[in-house]
């Protein structure tokens, strides 16, 4: 159904608001059986080790704070937060917001925010997030800032961008990237796919009169592409997206795709040169054994961890635990042609 997911609450529900988690390390994604792959291997002091503790999340976004603490923010409950000192053991740490901004009610009857994007720039932490309701593109992306990035310290700055039922896009799932002295925000779910607008570098809000660029879509209804996340590496911008069906437990068919471009506004193409506006997208990660429907991804650029790795952060549905959505952190490696793959 176009518009986005709704996750019933409950600690062990298949679509729980925030989900259990485990860290996956292994070779590039294939359909091979789980017992053919090496299992998780803890690595002390690095986020690419097996995770433990209170690790139920959905639509995760992770950051390493200046004091070395790792934080994962996720969908629901005022943007849920979990922290870790080593990237291995996680504990629940409240929510980003201490109270609900009044404007949330205009877009969500439950005042329930989704799909955060957390980043650090200019000495300030920035948190973008979506407020909407299932199946609707009457949606908005909000912004909050914090001096520390810790839960409970965020000050809401209001609506950054919104969409209405007359628009052919959906203003949810923000993903922000900086490059060439400019700041850009991707967004979108179903409808006509992934879009982008330019942000003001000083305020983090949309530039007045900024055009809406088109980055990716699928050729057939319901145009199931969402959750854009952008990374600049070398000469390229990389667009990570989730294809197909989210939020259906073990019936989920989510998979993660990627394309790249030399400009933040595209055109993004896969390895074969197929434009992502025509359904292209290099497969990065699909269901593997118990790990069903990976998606809702972001990329942690962990420059403080061992060797300064890039880490793919996403959720999946655990087929051996009733379809509970769980967190995964996978090291990203880059091949000689500059394409990402998951593994060590």
Q: What is the pTM of this model?
A: 0.87
Indicate the SS3 state at residue 282. Answer: strand
- Residue 34 predicted with pLDDT over 70: no
Q: What is the mean pLDDT of residues 144-165?
A: 97
56, 86, 156, 226: the catalytic one is: 226
> Tokens 């990329």 belong to which residue?
299
Range of the domain at 110: 34-342
The answer, yes or no, to whether residue 21 has pLDDT greater than 70, is: no
8 Å CB contact between 104 and 136? no
21 falls within a domain: no
Domains in the chain, number? 1
Residue 159 lies in a domain: yes
Residue 71 lies in a domain: yes
In a domain, 311, yes or no: yes
Mean pLDDT, residues 120-138 taken together: 94
Residue 14 in domain: no
Report the distance separating Cα 55 and Cα 22, nearest Å: 8
- Percent of the chain beyond pLDDT 70? 84
Share of the chain above pLDDT 90, in %: 72
Catalytic option among 59, 156, 173, 318: 59
pLDDT for 264:
97
Q: Which two tokens stand for residue 246?
A: 């989210």
Q: Is residue 225 part of a domain?
A: yes
Pick from 2-11, 61-70, 78-87: least confident: 2-11
What are phi and psi for residue 140, nearest 5 degrees?
-145, 150
Whichever domain contains 288, its CATH number is 2.115.10.20
Confirm whether 109 is domain-assigned.
yes
> Considering the domain boundaries, does residue 12 fall inside one?
no
Distances (CA, A) of 325 to 12, 69, 129, 279: 9, 24, 20, 26
Rounded to the nearest 10°, the torsion over CA 75, 77, 78, 80 is -60
Structure tokens at 211: 């055009």
Give yes or no: 59 in active site: yes
Distance CA 336, CA 272 (A): 16
Q: Is 226 known to be catalytic?
A: yes
Q: What is the tens place of the pLDDT at every residue in 239-251?
A: 999 999 999 999 9
In which band, very low, low, confident or very high, does the pLDDT at 16 lie, cut at 50, 70 and 90? very low
308: exposed, middle or buried (Cβ count in 10 Å: 0-12, 13-18, 19+): exposed
The mean of the pLDDT values for the chain is 85
Angstrom distance (rounded) from CA 34 to CA 10: 28
pLDDT band at 303 (very low <50, low <70, confident <90, very high): confident
Instruction: Provide the token pair at 15.
Output: 């679509």
Mean pLDDT of 266-293: 96
């Amino acid at each position: 159904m176009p518009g986005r997911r709704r996750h019933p609450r409950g600690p062990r529900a298949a679509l729980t608001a925030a989900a259990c988690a485990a860290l996956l390390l292994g070779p590039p994604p294939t359909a091979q059986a789980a017992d053919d792959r090496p299992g998780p291997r803890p690595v002390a002091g690095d986020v690419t080790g097996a995770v433990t503790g209170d690790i139920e999340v959905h639509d995760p976004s992770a950051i390493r704070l200046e004091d070395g603490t790792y934080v994962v923010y996720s969908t629901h409950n005022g943007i849920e937060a979990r922290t870790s000192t080593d990237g291995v053991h996680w504990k629940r740490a409240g929510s980003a917001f201490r109270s609900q901004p009044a404007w949330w009610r205009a877009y969500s009857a439950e005042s329930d925010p989704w799909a955060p994007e957390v980043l650090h720039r200019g000495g300030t932490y920035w948190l973008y997030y979506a407020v909407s309701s299932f199946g609707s593109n009457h949606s908005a992306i909000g912004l909050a800032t914090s001096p520390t990035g810790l839960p409970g310290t965020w000050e809401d700055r209001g609506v950054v961008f919104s969409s209405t039922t007359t628009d052919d896009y959906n203003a949810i799932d923000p993903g922000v990237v900086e490059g060439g002295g400019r700041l850009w925000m991707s967004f979108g779910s179903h409808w006509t796919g992934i879009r982008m607008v330019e942000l003001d570098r000083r305020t983090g809000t949309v530039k007045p009169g900024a055009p809406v660029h088109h980055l990716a879509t699928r050729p057939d209804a319901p145009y199931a592409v969402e959750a854009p996340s952008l990374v600049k590496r070398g000469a390229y911008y990389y667009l990570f997206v989730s294809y197909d069906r989210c939020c259906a437990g073990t019936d989920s068919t989510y998979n993660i795709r990627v394309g790249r471009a030399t400009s933040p506004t595209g055109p993004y193409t896969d390895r074969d040169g197929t434009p992502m506006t025509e359904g292209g997208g290099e497969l990065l990660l699909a269901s593997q054994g118990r790990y069903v429907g990976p998606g809702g991804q972001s990329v942690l650029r962990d420059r403080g961890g061992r060797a300064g790795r890039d880490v793919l952060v996403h959720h999946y549905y655990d087929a051996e635990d009733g379809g509970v959505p769980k967190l995964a952190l996978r090291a990203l490696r880059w091949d000689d042609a500059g394409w990402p793959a998951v593994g060590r």
